[in-house]
A and B are shown apart, each in its own frame.
Chain A
Amino acid sequence: EAGVAQSPRYKIIEKRQSVAFWCNPISGHATLYWYQQILGQGPKLLIQFQNNGVVDDSQLPKDRFSAERLKGVDSTLKIQPAKLEDSAVYLCASSFGARGYGYTFGSGTRLTVV
């Protein structure tokens, strides 16, 4: 079974620029999650999709971050404009359903904002 695919693997941008990350979950997984992991900390949930609907985005900085999940499959996370404190690893995960079974993470995108 293919895992959760993420791209790009690394990205370096200047502050105030925009950036987008892409995630392709495991086939059949209804729930998709985006996490932000700052160095030395645990992952922090940014947004959770159930199929193509948002069920939790309480920790998403909506003034600069946006996310969508097209047709309940692939998802993109965008930051515009980026700040220095956005430097982190952005992790995508997916699971069978809302109960989290089959929880699988992608390899992440390491973002550096300079």
Chain B
Amino acid sequence: GIQVEQSPPDLILQEGANSTLRCNFSDSVNNLQWFHQNPWGQLINLFYIPSGTKQNGRLSATTVATERYSLLYISSSQTTDSGVYFCAVERGGYQKVTFGTGTKLQVIP
């Protein structure tokens, strides 16, 4: 099956700092999503981004499908950004979703 690797696995930031999270995938995909899992375990969809760039407030994401990677940018980080960030790729006729390995982010005041 498809492999979805994320880097870095762990990241500690000072509040206000910027960061870039990366997602590499091993095969072509129909869609890619970024999720944030908060410290209480709730998963929230951040972006649907099969290709190109999208922005939502302090977050933006870019997917380069031909090179099989996606980037999530977090600017001016806040403590509420802490948690685990997952990318998830969709492929196949019924859009099977495979999650990546995750990046655990801790933002300290």
Binding site for B on A (CB under 8 A): 33, 35, 41-45, 48, 50, 55-56, 89, 91, 93, 98-101, 103-105, 107-108, 110
Contacts and interface: CB of A to CB of B under 8 A. Distances in A.
Interface of B: 30-31, 33, 41-45, 48, 86, 88, 90, 93-102
The 10 closest A-B pairs by CB, nearest first: A42-B99, A105-B43, A55-B94, A98-B95, A43-B99, A98-B94, A42-B102, A103-B45, A100-B95, A100-B90
Contacts of B88: 42
Given A42-B101, A100-B48, A48 B96 contact: yes
Contacts of B98: 45
Contacts of B42: 105, 107
Contacts, number: 53
Contacts of A110: 41
Contacts of B86: 42-43
Contacts of A44: 99
23 contacts: A33-B97, A35-B99, A41-B101, A42-B102, A43-B43, A43-B99, A44-B99, A50-B94, A55-B94, A56-B96, A93-B43, A98-B93, A98-B95, A99-B90, A100-B33, A100-B48, A100-B95, A101-B48, A103-B45, A103-B48, A103-B97, A105-B42, A107-B42
A104 B96 CA distance: 15
Contacts of B95: 98-100
Contacts of A98: 93-95
Nearest to A104: B45
B41 A103 contact: no
Contacts of A99: 30-31, 90, 95
Contacts of B94: 48, 50, 55-56, 98
Given A89-B41, A107-B41, A45 B97 contact: yes
Contacts of A103: 33, 45, 48, 97
